[in-house]
Amino acid sequence: MSGLENIGVKIINPLTPQTDGVSGNADAILHELVALLETYIDSGENSAIDLHSLPLTPTDYELLRATLAEGEVHANINAVGNTEVRETLYPGVWWLTYYNVEGDIVADLLEVIDVPEILKAPAEDIRDGLVRLRDLLTQME
């Protein structure tokens, strides 16, 4: 025997406190976000984690919300139900929550991207805006 069995090991992980209701999935998601951010920085490849499809406990959600926290940007989009878009404390990580017209959560995503696509105006909408602004200026002359 090498004597390794006599060495005491204590594993400490501040992200998973010894609290009832923690499944360990929040910790795994945070590590996955690190990998996704590295990929985004290296290749520009954006990605998403669908939280709604994962077995997360309410305590897991609380841990994610507390750890990711809120960044500088928060947007509400009102279209066929509401969508909340929140930048987390970590640039490039966004928390998007989609609601149906009844107010139920239908999707809860963590996106790794510079700006979520839902916040970008489609080119057709920009062209329509240009036409309306030109028309307004013409009427004002």
Dump pLDDT digits (tens) for 58-74: 999 999 999 999 999 99
Look at the chain and report how many structural domains it folds into: 1
Q: Looking at residue 111, which CATH number applies to its domain?
A: 3.30.1370.140
Q: Is residue 131 part of a domain?
A: no
| pTM attached to this predicted model | 0.79
pLDDT of 34-50, one tens digit each?
999 999 999 999 999 99
Task: Provide the strand spans (E) within 68-119.
Answer: 74-78, 82-87, 93-99, 105-112
Q: Is residue 86 part of a domain?
A: yes
In terms of residue numbers, what domain contains 94? 10-116
Q: Is residue 1 part of a domain?
A: no
CA 17/CA 10 separation, integer angstroms: 14
Q: Is residue 121 part of a domain?
A: no
